[in-house]
Structure 1
Amino acid sequence: MVAKKFLSLILGTVVLSTSILVGCGDSKNTADSSKNNLNIGVVQLVEHPALDSAFKGFKEGLESKGFKDGENIHLDFKNAAGDIPTAQTIANDFASSKKDLILAIATPAAQASFNATKDIPILATAVTDHAKAGLVNSMEKPETNVTGTSDMLPIDKQFDLMKKLIPNSKKVGILYNTSEANSEVQLENAKNEASKHNLEIVERGISSSNDVSQALSSIISKVDVVYTLTDNIIASSMPLISSMCLEKNIPIIGGEKAHVESGALATDGIDYYELGFQTALMAVEIINGEKPQDMPIERLKETKLTINEDVAKKMNIQIPEDLKDKAIMIKGGVN
């Protein structure tokens, strides 16, 4: 279906599109009224820097391949504001309106989209483990209408960084979302890796942002450092988490760059903009005729070391020169 529409895009540049293509709407002032439009539904679970960056990367990745919103594609963006039933309603609407492709940003958004349709191609990004989330049969061969990109964290690199910056750290505090599969996968990976670094994980489960303050308060005096997962509740609560940790002089190793911008000490993690960009390249493959069921889930090959020098200064943490030389040094996130 998508490949056929892509062919129509090409033909539309040569002959009058009005004589060849079926229109997507009746208002000439909107992108989806253009008769050579691909219509892509985008459902994002919640607004926070990581997911926003993923969507920006997706949009600009498409532009890099000649697909521009409002010209030859229409991106119908919807934000569920953190509400899973709303995400399901959005996904159902996309399915009933027969979008050509759905981009789902975050695990619950992807699960909602998969619940809504088994026919429309779905690209799921900012999802840690598509298989454990029930979206695909395996990461190597999905065998469903879903493929996409994983934000699986390089836990070994993060713990290596932790030991370099906070050498005496032994107990690591982790908050995780008990209702989100990707959070539980990351916690399990952290536990498996911890013993290799002589670390002990102290965990607390949360189910909403309202739980964060109490959960963190219950462990903050028992840990040497906090590690923040790429969890949607955690991401939305980073200003609170960083403020509480700074007050107690407990450093944070963040799951990704946006956490560091919000007051974590450092990360050696993925860049969600790049993740979204890579997802866009997969979208182009689908437009050109590839089937999601045959496309392995992709991961970023490179991580980015980011260090917040304001946080380091406030906590009197010395940054080794070899880390400074290769890190992106940023400021901010400190009250």
Structure 2
Amino acid sequence: MKRMLQFLALISMIAFLAACGSDEEGSNAEDSTASEGGETYKIGATQIVEHPSLDRAYEGFQAALEEAGVNAEYDFQSAQNDQNNVKPISDGFVADGVDLIFANSTPSALGALQATSDIPILFTSVTDAVDAGLVPSMEEAGENITGVTDLHPDAIKETVDFIDAEFPDGSVGMVYNAGEQNSVKQVEEVKAAAEELGLTVVERTVANSAEVQQAATTLVGEADVFYIITDNTVVSALDSVVGVANDQDIPLIVGEPDSVEKGGFATFGIDYYTIGYRTGEMAAEILTGEKSPSEIAPEYPPEIQLFINKGAAEEQGVEWNEEWDDAAQFIETPK
């Protein structure tokens, strides 16, 4: 009888230990499942101002990380088009110990680079990353910074050629903020291209968005065509330029498709969502440890094309060219 009781006790102990082992395995399985979600990275995202093009780039950036399976928490900060806000935003990201900074505009990228040499920085919506001092060349990234520019090498030339072909011997009116380095660079390129074709460029500079409408108005009578480049200050107040162009029958050429949607007539431009998305793909490689920023060369936008707003063309008195029917992608202004 005693041996029988010892045997039963042994059986009970074995069953108990087996159950414990099963529970431990289940616990380990749960831990494994929880870890499959991966680390959550903290990203500081900043842009000089909020307007459709920059917002689209930010959307593309987030989408690329999500599709790559990278978990991210974003701390978004807009400088509200005030250069004085750029440094505190970048310094705040560094103090918070973010894993990566997404700098969406030239001023934002410069501010981030001045704030840190350790945290990876991904830029986009930058016109000339080399001239701005962000990277040594378009074939070589910085130690902790790389990204995608928003100006295709042929965009300005194609646009000026378009103006010359459709509005020959015209004068081109430009409004821009001389405090934006990317804008100064673009205006210089426009003037060089225009000079080769015998076009005249008439300039007005502004310091803030409140001055844009008045600057555009003063060009009436001097400019046959408006050309608004990707200047953050002016684009944030583009409605006021569209109003002048529509009232005075002045064709409004712009720098990107979002401005066409807002009432510009035409552009040889890019989709900002696309460059943001590509920047997000780079960020995913960096955050997951596949590459360091210095191992990813900066890039130009992959392609440009002609975008036209038919409604804006009619509003601005543009004589329709049937060749545009096959050459352009058409965008409508939402009603």
Q: Would the TM-score normalized by the shorter structure come out above 0.5?
A: yes
- Provide Cα deviations, 1:92-149, integer angstroms capped at 9, x if missing partner: 1111111111101111111111121111010111011122222222232133321111
Q: For residue 52 of structure 1, what is the amino acid of its counterpart?
A: D
Task: Specify the alignment match of 1:282 in structure 2.
Answer: 282
Residues 1:58 and 2:57 aligned together: no
- Provide Cα deviations, 1:242-294, integer angstroms capped at 9, x if missing partner: 10121111111110011111111111111111110111111122233322234
Deviates more, 1:316-325 or 1:241-250: 316-325
Residue 46 of structure 1 deviates from its aligned partner by: 1.1
Residues 1:163 and 2:149 aligned together: no
Q: Helix, strand or coil for the counterpart of 1:220? A: coil
CA distance in 1, matches of 2:219, 2:34: 66
Change over 3 Å in CA distance of 1:269–1:16 after alignment to 2: same
- Provide Cα deviations, 1:63-85, integer angstroms capped at 9, x if missing partner: 22222xxxx22222222222223
Task: Specify the alignment match of 1:99 in structure 2.
Answer: 98
Moved over 6 A (4+): 17-21
Task: Specify the alignment match of 2:302 in structure 1.
Answer: 301
Task: Specify the alignment match of 1:198 in structure 2.
Answer: 198
1:218-297 correspondence to structure 2 within 5 Å: 218-287=218-287, 288-297=289-298
Change over 3 Å in CA distance of 1:20–1:260 after alignment to 2: closer
Bigger Cα Rg: 2
Deviates more, 1:319-328 or 1:39-48: 319-328
- Provide Cα deviations, 1:276-333, integer angstroms capped at 9, x if missing partner: 0111111122233322234322111211321111122223423322322232222337
Task: Specify the alignment match of 2:107 in structure 1.
Answer: 108
CA distance in 1, matches of 2:158, 2:229: 14
Does the 8 Å contact 1:54/1:273 carry over to 2?
A: yes
Does the 8 Å contact 2:245/2:316 carry over to 1?
A: no
Does the 8 Å contact 1:161/1:267 carry over to 2?
A: no
Residue 14 of structure 1 deviates from its aligned partner by: 8.2
Task: Specify the alignment match of 1:311 in structure 2.
Answer: 312
Change over 3 Å in CA distance of 1:209–1:19 after alignment to 2: closer
Q: For residue 285 of structure 1, what is the amino acid of its counterpart?
A: E
Q: Helix, strand or coil for the counterpart of 1:222? A: coil
- Structure 2 segments unaligned to the other structure (5+ residues): 1-27
Task: Specify the alignment match of 1:125 in structure 2.
Answer: 124
- Provide Cα deviations, 1:128-183, integer angstroms capped at 9, x if missing partner: 1122222222232133321111112511111232234x333521111121111101
CA distance in 2, matches of 1:217, 1:313: 20
CA distance in 2, matches of 1:193, 1:242: 24
Task: Specify the alignment match of 2:328 in structure 1.
Answer: 327
Q: For residue 168 of structure 2, what is the amino acid of its counterpart?
A: N
Does the 8 Å contact 2:45/2:74 carry over to 1?
A: yes
CA distance in 1, matches of 2:176, 2:144: 29
CA distance in 1, matches of 2:333, 2:38: 46
Q: For residue 77 of structure 1, what is the amino acid of its counterpart?
A: F
Residues 1:42 and 2:40 aligned together: no
- TM-score, structure 2 length as denominator? 0.84
Q: Helix, strand or coil for the counterpart of 1:298? A: coil
- Structure 1 segments unaligned to the other structure (5+ residues): 1-12, 22-33
CA distance in 1, matches of 2:94, 2:200: 45
Q: Helix, strand or coil for the counterpart of 1:227? A: strand
CA distance in 2, matches of 1:282, 1:169: 44
- TM-score, structure 1 length as denominator? 0.84
CA distance in 1, matches of 2:107, 2:243: 28
Change over 3 Å in CA distance of 1:35–1:281 after alignment to 2: closer
Q: For residue 206 of structure 2, what is the amino acid of its counterpart?
A: I
Q: Helix, strand or coil for the counterpart of 2:220? A: helix
Q: Helix, strand or coil for the counterpart of 1:139? A: coil
- Measured on the aligned residues, the alpha-carbon RMSD in Å equals 2.4
